Structure 1
Amino acid sequence: MAARSISKRIAGGRWYAGLLLRQRCRWQLAGVRCASTLTEVAQSEKENSAPRRLATPPRGFRRMTLRDFDIPIENKPAVDLAKQAEEEPDEDGPVRISEITGQEVQSLWPPTPLIDMKSRDKLMESLDQNELMEKVDEEERREVARPFLWLQHEEQDFVGNEDVGRFVKIARDDLLEHLPEGGCGELSRDLTLIPDRTRDVGLMVRKLSIELISQLSELQHATDAEGRPRIRKAGFLLDGHKGTGKSQVLNLLTMWARKNGWLVVLEPTPGRYAREIAEIKRSNNGVYIQSEFAQQFLEALSLANRHMLEEIPVDTTAYGSRGIDGESQQAHHESSGHRITLTCG
């Protein structure tokens, strides 16, 4: 009798564990220790229930013992949970492609346009150019969470400490015009990573950029004691670790200086003179040799500052009086003639 009671309890425990682990089981709280009400199991299912390895029970079930299954079983009709699960509609189930009909696809086509093109065309015709630009600026400000993050074109010439952290929006054409030598640092690489080739470029206004612009603005019209333009300052040194923004400060400062009438001599990649090996080019007469990097630097300098280089006064009377080695042209001819005489003699 005791063995039969134990086997009955074990069978009931297995069925209860299966009920816990089975999906779509509906719990009916009865206020007992196991917090559930068990239903009667068919006799055939009890006899044919072979022991099988169950999955890990849910949390809290591991502490239950055989004593917890000592619950009076109510006489209720057996419920086939698997059949009940098949009959219930699955609202969150995946949609099968084979179940989609052509009528359903046709009812969804053509899709509803996101923008009414007719109303958009009427709006564009009714707005003049100024209103259209204001409309575009409003749309651009809505795209970002901080509407005043970008400096507008009319605000870029007058920057102050309150603009630190904002971005200067620069068109691609303006970037090529003010930086024909190329950008310093990793600006060229960053531009290649932007998929849109016509999108504007943004440069952050740092505090150091504001300080340098303020210093150069005061020195732009400095003169000496005789009233001639002269700046009595050796220069500025930007020092910092790699990636702190020194090159971006120099890029923004270069574009500001070019806009305000400065003659800018810029070498964006000076490190290549020490790390890379350039091709050496010789003149036609073989008098001098020139590095390829130096030639590119002079070409970019003349291209970016041609109109300002033409304004520099040049004393043409000294042109041709000296040779490339520094000696006067007359002494060069005398030494050449003397060498010719010695060679022929």
Structure 2
Amino acid sequence: MGVTWSQLFPPQPTFTEKNLPSQKGKVFIVTGGTSGVGFELANILFKAGGKVYIAARSKDKALKCIEKIKSTAQDDSSETGQLEFLHLELDDLSTIKASAEAFKSKEPKLDVLWNNAGVSLPPLGSKSKQGYELQMGINCLGAFLFTELLLPPLKAAAQNSPPGTVRVIWTSSQAIDNQPRPEIIMAEAVAPPQDQVRNYTISKIGNWFLASELAKQVGSSGIISVTQNPGNLNTELLRNAIWYKYAVYPILYKAIFGAYTELWAGLSPDVTMDNNGCYVLPWGRIHPSPSQDILRALKGTEDGGTGRAKEFREWCEKETSKYM
């Protein structure tokens, strides 16, 4: 109950634009960077001198966001970086390789990938272009494929960076702490139940599974992979659940606070190789007491776990293999 309460009413953020070091020379991707948390995060990174690729579906919307961010920067600032648009449609696996290749044709390295984009509670029956339940298709399969395709520039950055400074950040939700069955049942991933809340929760548990599995895969290269709950926020993520937004409105925070969570996960020195694969809470803390069921799922059977995370990653790999 204490952890749930502290996610609803987090302590003040400790890592913000006010104490963020210069990010000059760093290259970042923020998926879903045209609104909400992604927009606020891109704004912070740009004003700290980073080169930020805003990965989104709409070029027109992205360019308007870029102009808005630039217009708020001080003309005489020596810290401002660069902003670029990167076309990305996470609901269509057949297009994601082209997006990754477009990035790699421009940049030899990638310092931090924020898998920020996602969808929550779309109308029941909503599907991706390949016919997957939409939340699974975007939040897990699309993000997994995009990340796998960007491992070469991430590893290139890690070769010339201190261990743990190159990172992949995944986005989960407090919903995973509030479920009586926090483990993913693969049957539900393959054949989604007629329950969008459950489907959303499955995708968010999946994000932690993918973060943990990637940490095992690339940790030896000095790369960190973690997932985070950005917080309860008043953003467009709730556009499909207006009833819920009104019900919890008194405890919703501005998007900037979610950006602080993601900023901490992506750049704080408090996240180290020793806690690779961890889960970050609002507005920048490591989860002190995750569900024991999830912790068992993160471990392989050889280590006394259920191997559920590995099973889920292998399923994602199989489903996306022809689009690699």
TM-score, normalization by structure 1: 0.19
**Where is the helix percentage greater, Structure 1 or Structure 2?**
2
User: Which protein is bigger by CA-based radius of gyration?
Assistant: 1
TM-score, normalization by structure 2: 0.20
Indicate the structure whose relative CO is greater, using CA pairs within 8 Å and at least 6 residues apart: 2
